[in-house]
Homo-oligomer: A and B are copies of this chain.
Amino acid sequence: MDLAQLSDRILTGDRRALARAITLVESSRADHREQARELLERLRGSGREAIRIGLSGTPGVGKSTFTEAFGMMLLGQGLRVAVLAVDPSSARSGGSILGDKTRMDRLSREKDAFIRPSPSQSQLGGVARRSREAVALCEAAGFDVVIIETVGVGQSETVVAEMSDLFVLLLAPAGGDELQGVKRGIMEIADLILINKADGDLKATATRTCADYAGALRLLRKRPQDPQGFPKAMMVSALAGTGLTEAWDEMQALIGWRREAGWWERRRAEQARYWFDQEVRNALLSQLETGTARAALDRLGQAVAEGRVTPGAAAREMLETLSGQHTAV
């Protein structure tokens, strides 16, 4: 593969080259990894930065409909939009979200849009690294906004937050004591809570839900990276197309404030450092993934869980097993 040529084509915004490069960073073959690293090093100096929006919401909340409507609105403002998905569940099931592009029928036919389903059949650590690298490729290809979708499963929001500039939680209207099912940890990272389906019969319920979340957000500690009034709860309707421009205005206001206050740059630097640390740590911990180590870890872990040995004594035995594999610990 001619990396210089691929790199040049990505810089011109060529979507086929971009798709090919993402396939490269998704591969776990050693030679592909090496090429991917070289390609990313080549593109590092492009100086291009997109606004990276993390988006989470449980199934049924209208995430695809929202992304399509929101994306079309951005295109209408002359912006180029990429949509990526991070789906840790695909690591288990082998499936992928966004696999069916017809769910974003209009957006997928626009020349200034790029939609990429999540890679399937890989581990969460791998999904995370590849998604982060795919985001970097989209930035180099000159997209103005990159939307990184995830479903609210396990640690996926945290992972997506580490590759986003702002994080949006999409919720459906819910009446009274009906539970929303908001994962607790997500309140930690949400910058904007959007109550979708604020139309027709659901309008009144959406208004109440929005007020409930605005109240809940006020009970939490203020983060230094938040200007007055953030995190914020707002209503939108992807179906009716209402509230989308207002939501984008709020995002821009938030980003503008963070840029001026130095948070944008600081956060980007912290994220780069974070991903570097993660790669180093994952490489070290990959010693535990070999067949022998894995088997010992399972056997000793089971003994610990059953109270047959203390965690400390079992850990020492585990480390001796690893040393026996000619691995210095």
Minimum Cβ distance to chain B for residue A240 (Å): 25
Query: Do B284 and A284 touch across chains, with their CB atoms under 8 A apart?
Result: yes
Question: A327 contacts which chain B residues (CB < 8 A)?
Answer: 328
Q: Mark A282-309, 1 if CB is under 8 A from B, else 0.
A: 0111011000000001001100111101
Whether A40 contacts B288 by the Cβ 8 Å rule is: no
In the complex, chain B residues whose CB is within 8 Å of the CB of A288: 280-281, 284
Judged by a CB distance under 8 angstroms, whether A200 is at the interface is no
Interface presence of A316 (CB below 8 A): yes
Q: Does A310 contact B (CB under 8 A)?
A: yes
Determine the residue in chain B with the shortest Cβ distance to A181. B221
Closest to A176 in B: B218
- B221, A272: Cβ atoms closer than 8 Å: no
Within 8 Å CB of A216, what residues of B?
215-216, 219
Contact residues, A21-42 vs B (CB, 8 A): 36-37, 40-41
The listed residue (B133, B219, B279, B318) touching A182 by CB distance below 8 A is B219
How many monomers of this chain does the complex have? 2
Task: Pick from B183, B275, B287: contact of A311, CB below 8 A.
Answer: B275
Residues of B within 8 A of A218 (CB): 177, 179
Mask of A137-165 contacts with B, CB within 8 angstroms, 1/0: 00000000000000000000000000000
Decide yes or no whether A111 CB sits under 8 A from chain B: no
Q: Does A102 contact B (CB under 8 A)?
A: no
| Nearest-Cβ distance from residue A300 to partner chain B, whole angstroms | 7
Q: Does chain B have a CB within 8 A of A312?
A: yes
Stretch at the interface among A4-12, A66-74, A184-192: A184-192
Which among B185, B275, B315 is the interface contact of A185 at CB below 8 angstroms? B185
Pick from B36, B187, B319: contact of A187, CB below 8 A: B187
A69 to chain B, nearest CB (A): 26
Binary per-residue interface labels of chain A (68-108) against chain B in the complex, 1 for a CB within 8 Å, 0 otherwise:
00000000000000000000000000000000000000000
Contacts of A179 on B, CB cut-off 8 Å? Answer: 218-222
Across the A-B interface, give the 7 residue pairs with the lowest CB-CB distance, nearest first: A279-B315, A184-B188, A275-B311, A269-B305, A276-B311, A181-B221, A184-B187
